[in-house]
């Protein structure tokens, strides 16, 4: 039982490049989330999904896009990377009555 798997763990992007952060869960959770955590700060919600085909914006969605074609996968797309997107990104999932299960995070640097 792998839980929530995020790839890659580290990535350096140049300004203007694009990339997709992958997130997969094997717990059949309906709810999935993407957070970013800036140095010394708490978690900010980027996007979330309550089921396949349904996504919604969180607190800081600008510069990101998501899709949810299956229950298992919830990729986060960065278009035209900017230095302000340098952060650690966490994917999480949950069932209805439980706490989050987090992925191990992706450390992204935009230079």
**Which residues bind to other proteins, rule: CB under 8 A?**
31, 33, 37, 41-43, 45, 48, 50, 58, 88, 90, 92, 94, 97-102, 104-105, 107
- Residue 18 or 104 having the CB closest to other proteins: 104
Nearer to other proteins (CB atom), residue 17 or residue 27? 27
In angstroms, give the least distance from the CB of 70 to other proteins: 18
Count Cβ atoms below 10 Å from residue 97 Cβ, excluding itself.
Answer: 5
Nearest approach in angstroms of CB 106 to other proteins is: 10
State phi, psi for 11 to the nearest 5 degrees. -160, 140
Under 8 Å between Cβ of 6 and 105 = yes
Helix (H, G, I), strand (E, B) or coil at 83: helix
Smallest gap from Cβ 16 to other proteins, in A, equals: 27
Distance from C-alpha of 87 to C-alpha of 109, rounded to nearest angstrom: 7
Contact 82, 106 (CB under 8 A): no
Least distance between other proteins and beta carbon 50 (Å): 5
């Amino acid at each position: 039982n792998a839980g929530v798997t995020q790839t890659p763990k580290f990535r350096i992007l140049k300004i203007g490049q694009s990339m997709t952060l992958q997130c997969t869960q094997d717990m059949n959770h309906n709810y999935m989330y993407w957070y970013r955590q800036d140095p010394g700060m708490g978690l900010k919600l980027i996007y979330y999904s309550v089921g396949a085909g349904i996504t919604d914006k969180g607190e800081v969605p600008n510069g990101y896009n998501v899709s949810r074609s299956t229950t298992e996968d919830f990729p986060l797309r960065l278009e035209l990377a900017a230095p302000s997107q340098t952060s650690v990104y966490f994917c999480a999932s949950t069932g209805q009555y439980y706490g989050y299960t987090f992925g191990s995070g992706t450390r992204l640097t935009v230079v």
